[in-house]
Amino acid sequence: MSAYWSDFVKTLDPYVPGEQPKQTDLIKLNTNESPFAPSPAVLDAIRQATADQLRLYPSPESDRLRAAVARYYDLSEDQVFPGNGSDEVLAHLFLGLFRHQGKQILFPDITYSFYPVYCRLYDIDYQNVALADDFSIRLQDYLALPPETVSAVIFPNPNAPTGMAIGRDEIEQLLIQRPQWVVAVDEAYVDFGAQSCVPLIKKYKNLVVLQTLSKSRSLAGLRVGFAFAQPELLEGLVRVKNSFNSYPVDRLAEAGAIAAFEDQSYFEQTTREIVQTREQLSEAMRALGFTVLPSKANFIFVSHSQYDAAQLLASLRSHAILVRHFRHPRIASFLRVTIGTKKQCETLIKSLSEIVS
Ligand code: PMP
């Protein structure tokens, strides 16, 4: 007879991230990283912190970082909760605020695949709400559910992997009509053209917004993410963090993140270029016969009626280009393509035109 723990361990169902290949000469359009290096000011700040601060423990409260981000977003410091990437902040959110006995949390059936993983790990009951036929998130469908059976709702805006965004006004209606629910908006991709809900933080006690420096600030390797909310709600995350007795972010991450928020022109220049490239790539893909969902993110979600997505993925790989495919039946005909540099996207189009011609 096998030990109890050996069967139990097999029930733990981890998140499987996109491939990080060892081969370095691939065009990597599979995990929504930025194609640009971080701002030179960020690299300087990290170098400086390495020389001056690395022998010291980091601040347990990340106070300099919280102050800088609060200033940037016109929030107060106690409305900012940093962590090691927004995946870690999400873990704190699920543990701290989503484990209500006898109630469910809601999220779309097609969304960031980490949400169901956290639910299973932390024993959180959840219900999926199907996307509309056009793949948009329809908040009326959430409002149609019996409110007393629900404790929280979470969705990315723009959604992943569709890239489609909904307006702030619509989310505000949900906040007004369901003040008893926690409404969590995961804004990992918000800087590429969607409307942020951060300006609503002061108004709504039930709103929590998550952001990351991994995408629009080119810092996926540094691992810095945030939750923004009123302090009463953030207290749930703070208590979870305190239980782990861990520092939110290390000294190099703190120095780099502060510098990233200070270099606004680099941020604007790089996000603008990604948005322009996204629009050009979308047009070129449509010209090759692809359906391209309207994206406000740094990736596009595409399908071709005559070509199998898994086969396209394999063909692109043989052209040294990595993209992402998901097995969920409703989106199995789609590929998610991260926006690279203009040159990378031109190479992608050249390869695809050979493959689908
Ligand atoms: N939310 C969404 C919707 C994402 O796609 C990702 C990136 N995989 C994250 C959060 C996590 O980003 P990070 O941990 O790098 O901050």
Task: Identify the CATH number of the domain in which residue 326 sits.
Answer: 3.90.1150.10
pLDDT of residue 244: 77
Q: Are 129 and 109 in contact (CB under 8 A)?
A: yes
Candidate of 16, 19, 87 to mutate for ligand 1, largest count of ligand atoms within 8 Å of Cβ: 87
**pLDDT-flagged residues of the chain (< 50):** none
**End of a domain among 231, 262, 293?**
262
The CATH number covering residue 253 comes to 3.40.640.10
The reply to whether 33 and 67 lie within a common domain is no
* Phi/psi of residue 102, nearest 5 degrees: 75, 5
* Residues 218 and 304 reside in one and the same domain: no
Q: How far is the CA of 27 from the centre of ligand 1 (A)?
A: 20
Do both 250 and 285 map to the same domain? no
Helices 251-262 and 264-287: angle between axes, nearest 10 degrees: 80
Same-domain check for residues 155 and 257: yes
**∠ at Cα 109 (228, 144), nearest 5°?**
80
The verdict on residue 9 lying in a domain is no
Assess if residue 7 is contained within a domain.
no
Q: How far is it, in rounded angstroms, from Cα 112 to Cα 188?
A: 10
Q: What's residue 1's pLDDT?
A: 66
| Residues 301, 155: Cα–Cα separation, whole Å | 17
User: Residue 340: CB within 6 Å of ligand 1?
Assistant: no
Do 146 and 230 fall into the same domain? yes
132 and 213 fall within a common domain: yes
Per-residue pLDDT of 271-317, as tens digits, reads: 999 999 999 999 999 999 999 999 999 999 999 999 999 999 999 99
Assess whether 333 and 299 both reside in one domain. Answer: yes
Evaluate whether 33 touches 326 at the Cβ level (below 8 Å). Answer: no
Mutate to test the pocket of ligand 1, among 33, 88, 212 (most ligand atoms within 8 A of CB): 212
Residues 82 and 169 in one domain: yes
What contacts 7, CB < 8 A, 6 or more positions away? none
Same domain, 232 and 336: no
Q: In 235-317, at which residue ranges do the beta strands (DSSP E only) sit?
A: 290-292, 299-304
Q: Which two tokens stand for residue 19?
A: 């491939």
Does a structural domain hold residue 289?
yes
Q: Scan for tokens 């703070």, then name that residue.
A: 238
State how beta strands 104-108 and 150-156 pair. Answer: parallel
Whether 3 is covered by a domain: the verdict is no
- Domain of residue 89 covers 40-262
Q: Is 214 in the pocket of ligand 1 (CB under 6 A)?
A: yes
Q: Is 11 inside any structural domain?
A: no
- Answer yes or no: are the C-beta atoms of 105 and 152 closer than 8 Å: yes
Residue 136: its pLDDT value, please? Answer: 98
The pair of three-digit structure tokens given for residue 306, joined into one six-digit string: 């005559």
Residue 2 lies in a domain: no
Quick one: 25 and 79 in the same domain?
A: no
Q: Please count the structural domains in the chain.
A: 2
Atom number, ligand 1, closest to the C-alpha of residue 225: 16
Those residues with Cβ within 8 angstroms of residue 103's Cβ, 6 or more apart along the chain or in another chain:
125, 148, 149, 150, 151
Same domain, 203 and 104: yes
- Based on the domain organization, do 309 and 160 belong to the same domain? no
Atom of ligand 1 nearest to the CA of 156: 3
13 lies in some domain: no
Domain final position from 262, 279, 311: 262
Task: Assess contact for 186 and 139: CB atoms under 8 A.
Answer: no
Domain boundary among 262, 277, 304: 262
For residue 12, being part of any structural domain is answered with no
* Tokens (6 digits) for 323: 């993209």
